[in-house]
Amino acid sequence: MQSDQTQIDRLIPEQLGEDTGGVSACDQGRSAKSAPGSWSEVSLLDVVPRAEYGISVPLDGQPEGVPVLRMGNLTGGTVDLSDLKYSRSPEAKAALLQDRDVLFNRTNSFDHVGRTSIWHSELPEASFASYLVRLIPDPEMVTPEFLTLWFNLAATQIAIRRYATPGVHQVNINPTNLRRVMIYLPDTLPPQRKIARILSTVDDLIEQTEALVAKQQAIKQGMMHDLLTRGVDDDGHLRPSFYEAPELYRETELGWLPASWEPRLLGQLVSPQRPIAYGILMPGYGHPGGVPVIKVKDIREGQIQTDDLLLTSPEIDEAYKRSRVREGDLLFSIRGTVGRMAIVPQHLSDANITQDTARIGLVEGDARFISAYLGMPAPASFIASHTLGVAVQGINLGDVRLIPVAFPLPDEQTAIGDILDAQEAAVVAEQRQLAKLRLLKGGLMHDLLTGEVPVTPDEGDNDV
């Protein structure tokens, strides 16, 4: 008997290349009409003979009465119960959900209309709002799980939105029109159950990996707090806390710091020959083969994204040579979204920046430590209190130079930076695995839900 995991492992090479750039069968434009085996093309009306609107009643955030599911509770799979509304109206019990009911969002923006989830009896009772539709499939033709998966297939979403009627602020899909959409499905239920189980196994892997990403991120946050308040000793071990060894600490304007740490100002850590500076006021709209210019929106999640760098002319760059960057410089956004940071990599040496970004060319200290410490309460409070403006917020360079930071000995800064880098690598590794699994699921959904890749039902898939 072939396990779900074995089936997934066999399909992974088809969905993924050597890295996340692999091409899935979904991208190859194969038609579902060529699906092998006993698959049929029928209308939704054939397999969903009934569709019911939800209730229209006043809703309250207080947990009294019957929970009423809304569009926001539909995730495109299962149901999210994190933000429930309730109704005390007697009508709420007139549309109680049954286990494995399929809920379809019939109205909202094009991004949300058509979202479909399957309900499992997580609550003693629950109802659903009027802009959701309960689809009641023929139990001899299609399983609720297969139907839910098929609705969330990208190609299906495109098809059903053709039936959407534009409104003033949103679009609407009439359930009667919806059931004219054609669906391809196996003629018997066991293959449908097998497909649903395979994709459910992938969903479980995705959920587990999401939990690992969250765990690694939480570890990093806790680690940062400890490292940036306690530091490490000569052996690279976390220094005892203030409560364990108060003699190792001293009180400063930044709070209690390890005795060997000094309070400094950010402007004291740069060379007078390369002071903190902002960049080009008018870099133009692009110059083929020109000098890369880093914008605020290019700084995301502590990295400089290079997919949309502006190229300015050599003449403009020459006029602003004072703001050219070097490998290891710290960039700090000073307008718009204040406080985005990234360290300049080697391949962007001699690039430039816009006027909304400050270049901090550190000659003392480790940029990794300094950028991390700028998120601590004292510097963060200083930055917030000196950020001005309503429509567009900003902080002056003079104030940037006065941002207070703690300054351990260089070797200790390097050790702390290395530890934080290692933990960030653990986070990135899990995020890459999560991206691969999501890509895998997208390809599997297309291949399995259109019959491009046949499945062999197991004995348990024959159970009703």
Between 121 and 212, the higher pLDDT residue = 212
Residue ranges of E strands in 74-202:
85-87, 102-105, 107-108, 116-118, 127-128, 132-136, 164-166, 171-173, 182-186
Partner residues linked to 306 by β-bridges: none
Q: Is the pLDDT of residue 354 over 90?
A: yes
Closest by CA to 156, choosing from 189, 183, 134, is 183
Look up the pTM and report it.
0.78
Question: For 49-92, how does the pLDDT look when each residue is reduced to its tens digit (9 = 90+)?
Answer: 888 888 888 888 888 889 999 988 998 888 988 889 999 888 88
In this prediction, what percent of the chain has a pLDDT beyond 90?
65
Give residue 268's pLDDT band: very low, low, confident or very high (50, 70, 90): very high
What percent of the chain lies above the pLDDT cut of 70?
A: 91
Question: Lowest-pLDDT range, 3-17, 79-93, 400-414?
Answer: 3-17
Radius of gyration of the chain (CA): 29
How sure is the predictor about 282, in pLDDT bands with cuts at 50, 70 and 90?
Answer: very high
Q: SS3 sequence, 13-53?
A: HHHCCCCCCCCCHHHHCCCHHHCCCCEEEEEHHHHCCEEEE
Could you tell me the pLDDT band of residue 357, with boundaries at 50, 70 and 90?
very high
CB 22 within 8 A of CB 15: yes
- Sign, Cα dihedral of 150, 19, 205, 113: negative
Band (109; pLDDT cuts 50, 70, 90)? confident
Tell me which amino acid residue 93 is: K
What pLDDT is recorded for position 19?
37
160-194 residue pLDDT tens: 778 777 766 778 887 777 777 888 899 999 999 99
Calpha distance 299→341 (Å, rounded): 7
Digit-coded pLDDT (tens) for 409-443: 999 999 999 999 999 999 999 999 999 999 999 99
Q: What is the pLDDT of residue 320?
A: 97
Hey, what long-range contacts does 164-169 have (CB within 8 A, 24 or more apart)? 164/110, 164/113, 167/107
What's residue 6's pLDDT? Answer: 53
Report d(CA 144, CA 155) in Å as an integer: 19
pLDDT at 140 over 70: yes
19-45 pLDDT, tens digit per residue, is 333 323 233 333 444 444 589 899 888
- For position 168, what pLDDT does the model report? 64
Q: So what's the pLDDT on residue 14?
A: 42
What is the pLDDT at residue 303?
94
Nearest residue to 442 via CA among 23, 19, 26: 26
Q: How confident is the model at residue 278 (pLDDT cuts 50, 70, 90)?
A: very high
pLDDT tens for each residue of 216-235: 999 999 999 999 999 999 99
Task: Of 8, 69, 330, give the one whose Cα is nearest residue 194.
Answer: 8
Mean predicted confidence (pLDDT) in 181-210: 92
Please determine, for residue 12, whether its predicted confidence score (pLDDT) is greater than 60: no
Q: How confident is the model at residue 447 (pLDDT cuts 50, 70, 90)?
A: very high
3-class DSSP state for residue 4? helix
What is the rounded average pLDDT for all residues in the chain? 88
Given a cut of 80, whether residue 364 has pLDDT beyond it is: yes
Question: For the chain, how many helices (H) and strands (E)?
Answer: 11, 25
Looking at residue 463, its pLDDT comes to 65
